[in-house]
């Protein structure tokens, strides 16, 4: 069971690693909210028959706590965090965006302490500090700017860093909520409601924008381009539905300590893929900072989240 769970997490990590190949070109031509909206729309259409037909009796029988968890995961982790993650691609090297997401385990430990009263292991304090320092260094484009601090960051670059870290924070919260949701809810139902809540939130966001600016046109001319259709379908199906199903299935079969280690396949593979296919290499100091960040995160003991 543990081996099977590890393999499923590894599969999800490899699928996520291909995300930037299509998200970066899409983000350069289309508003991030529209990209994530269509990702969710396709996912909901695909998942509904599976979730409803296979689990008709339990499809709507979630407890209040599970509904709340599904809403947090969907509106937060699936909609808001993915939109922030996508917008960061407009300002930063995609490999930097992905590496900054590895701050999630640090945030999970802090949240577990703040809201669940779970005291971090002693190893967390040292490695957590190293992770934070590495994250700070990684955020800069040039080594010369590191000593000047955040004031040396341009507005666009700073916006990308903030968007990346905000996405990491929201995904950390969703990790805790996802554990609660998966405690009793079937995998297909949990995955469906994740995307359904996300689609609802994104749809309301776009509708509100339209009301604020009635003259704003829906970018059909961009969305119907063959390259954009391929990108949206790929993002929806591969790093979207397939990766999430594999991840949730693995999450229920592998202990948190194993999940944390296997997940590191994602940033390492993503950086290499981005370098090879997108031509977005890291600076030497960013390679070092990224490697130290990954090492530090791998040494942080995860909290035993109560569900």
User: Can you give the residue ranges of every domain in the chain?
Assistant: 2-298
Q: Is the pLDDT of residue 138 over 70?
A: yes
159 touches 91 (CB < 8 A): yes
Tell me what pLDDT residue 304 has. 61
Where b means 16+ CB within 10 Å and e means fewer, 255-276 reads ebebbbbbbebbbbbbbebbee
Least confident of 70-84, 86-100, 255-269: 255-269
265 vs 34: which has the higher pLDDT: 34
Tell me the average pLDDT across 154-177: 87
- Residue 169 CA, chain-centre distance (Å), reads 10
pTM: 0.90
Contacts of 130 by beta carbon, 8 Å cutoff, 6+ apart = 292, 296
Helix/strand number for the chain, H first, E second: 17, 0
96 Cβ contact list (under 8 Å, min separation 6): 138, 139, 164, 282, 286
> What average pLDDT is seen over the chain?
88
pLDDT over threshold 60, residue 152: no
Above 90 in pLDDT, residue 182?
no
Does residue 258 have a pLDDT over 80?
no
- 129 pLDDT band (50/70/90 cuts)? very high
280 or 201, which is more confident?
201
Q: pLDDT exceeding 70 applies to what percent of the chain? A: 93
């Amino acid at each position: 069971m543990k081996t099977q769970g590890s393999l499923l997490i590894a599969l999800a990590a490899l699928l996520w690693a291909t995300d930037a190949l299509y998200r970066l070109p899409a983000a350069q031509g289309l508003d991030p909210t529209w990209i994530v909206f269509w990702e969710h729309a396709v996912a909901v259409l695909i998942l509904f028959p599976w979730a409803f037909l296979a689990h008709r009796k339990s499809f709507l029988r979630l407890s209040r706590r599970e509904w709340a968890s599904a809403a947090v995961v969907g509106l937060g982790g699936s909609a808001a965090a993915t939109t922030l993650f996508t917008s960061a691609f407009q300002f930063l090297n995609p490999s930097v965006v992905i590496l900054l997401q590895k701050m999630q385990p640090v945030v999970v430990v802090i949240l577990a302490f703040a809201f669940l009263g779970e005291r971090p292991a002693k190893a967390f304090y040292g490695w957590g500090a190293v992770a934070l320092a590495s994250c700070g260094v990684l955020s800069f484009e040039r080594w010369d700017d590191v000593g000047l601090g955040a004031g040396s960051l341009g507005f666009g670059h700073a916006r990308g860093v903030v968007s990346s870290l905000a996405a990491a924070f929201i995904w950390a919260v969703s990790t805790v909520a996802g554990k609660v949701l998966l405690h009793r809810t079937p995998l297909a139902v949990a995955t469906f409601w994740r995307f359904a809540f996300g689609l609802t939130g994104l749809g309301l966001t776009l509708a509100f924008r339209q009301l604020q600016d009635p003259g704003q046109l829906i970018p059909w001319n961009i969305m119907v381009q063959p390259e954009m259709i391929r990108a949206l379908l790929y993002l929806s199906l591969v790093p979207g539905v397939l990766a999430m199903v594999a991840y949730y299935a693995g999450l229920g079969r592998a202990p948190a300590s194993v999940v944390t280690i296997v997940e590191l396949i994602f940033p390492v593979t993503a950086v290499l893929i981005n370098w090879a296919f997108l031509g977005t290499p890291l600076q030497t100091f960013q390679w070092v900072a990224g490697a130290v960040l990954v090492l530090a995160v791998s040494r942080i003991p995860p909290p035993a989240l109560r569900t």
